[in-house]
Amino acid sequence: MHITRRHFGMGALAFGLSACASSPLVSPRSSALPDDLKPVANQAYSAWVNSFQGRARARGISQDTLTRAFRGTGYLPGVVRRDRNQTEFKRSLEDYLSIAVSDERVSKGRAAFARYRDVFTALETTYGVDAEIIAAIWGLESFYGERRGDVPVISATSTLAYDGRRGAFFESQLLAALRIVQSGDITPDRLVGSWAGAMGHTQFIPTSYQSFAVDFTGDGRRDIWSEDPSDALASAAAYLARNGWVRGQRWGSEVVGSAGAGTIIQPQANGPRFAVTQNFRVLKRYNNSDAYAIGVGHLADRIAGAGPLRTPFPPDANGLTKDDRIALQRGLTARGFDTQGADGVIGPNTESAIRAYQANRGLPVTGQPSQTLLRDLS
């Protein structure tokens, strides 16, 4: 059986990267939520909820659960806006890895791995999934628990179910969320996650939670939201194990020189090549993306002490290498046009800084990096 964890709505590089894109909000939620992620009056939504509750009772959800779960919830306009404004875009693998396996994510991963070494060791023994792989998923999904999301899941999933663009899917997530509350695993006020309902340290959607979540601590609750990440990490390990993870097999490796064994992929033209295994395909069931699976595998290797990839990526369409782009970002920032960091990834902050610099210098305002701009800043 092909079991897939639908990863949605996080912009997760998923991009977390659900965590990596820095979009998930950090708890506590009451003061952190932007205004458009707070409930507003909407009569049509309220009528939909009343109708849905009848369907939910017919599916075994008690009135007491419905009353507790919907108390204080409501229509979230920001959820609909984010769902409709998701932009399809493709980052290069180099840009993806610059974020997913940044120096900060590696150093935090090594520290988190050391802090929970006993938990990771126990998980590897129990489920057969490499401890560093579990740690890397944690790092990509929620930045090691720092960005778990704090949007009420009942409000988010009911808003998206009512909106109708993916109504049937989100109604199934809402029903699953209500079953989580009814089971006693979590109270409604702690049932929080991303704007689209992905939850906890490892960003499970409610249906995946129901299928795979684990009470690893033995306290009677499958608590993937707790400050203690044990249940969430175990749930991710259980997910991979049940999807066919092969104990003792690596995810893959970079190919340097001769082709090597296994299936060879090269996601970016003229960039690194990778020999991948069955476990690479299992990682793609967590998030169906070659870049994501490579990001998890490479981050796991780095957490374990390995160095960066050995094969350089080619210059980008503007003829700039990653080092060039970093130099450009640093040059702009040094001149008062802050790019909010220098990681070699040209995103909205860098484009805004370029436009401001170009306007200041009386140049054509394009917002695009170039070799000429780099020379001007050198």
Q: What is the pLDDT of residues 111-139, one digit of tens each?
A: 999 999 999 999 999 999 999 999 999 99
- What integer pLDDT is reported at residue 259 of this predicted model? 65
The DSSP letter of residue 152 is E
- Residue 192: beta bridge partners? 152
Helix axes of 77-84 and 153-163: crossing angle, nearest 10 degrees: 60
**Torsional sign, CA 241, 247, 253, 257:** negative
Q: Spell 27-61 as b/e; 16+ CB within 10 A means b.
A: bebeeebeeebbeeebeebeebbeebbeebeeeeb
- What integer pLDDT is reported at residue 283 of this predicted model? 98
332 located within any domain: yes
326 located within any domain: yes
187 located within any domain: no
* DSSP SS3 for 151: strand
CA distance 229 to 231: 6
361 located within any domain: yes
CA distance 197 to 195: 6
13 located within any domain: no
Question: Do the Cβ atoms of 334 and 328 come closer than 8 Å?
Answer: no
CA distance 296 to 290: 10
4 located within any domain: no
Q: At which residue do the structure tokens 């970079």 appear?
A: 254
354: containing domain? 322-377
345 located within any domain: yes
The DSSP letter of residue 193 is E
CA distance 113 to 124: 13
- What integer pLDDT is reported at residue 88 of this predicted model? 54
- What integer pLDDT is reported at residue 257 of this predicted model? 83
**Number of domain units in the chain:** 1
CA distance 275 to 262: 5
- Residue 75: beta bridge partners? 40
- What integer pLDDT is reported at residue 15 of this predicted model? 35
Q: Which residues of the chain have pLDDT under 70?
A: 1-31, 87-89, 259-260
35 located within any domain: no
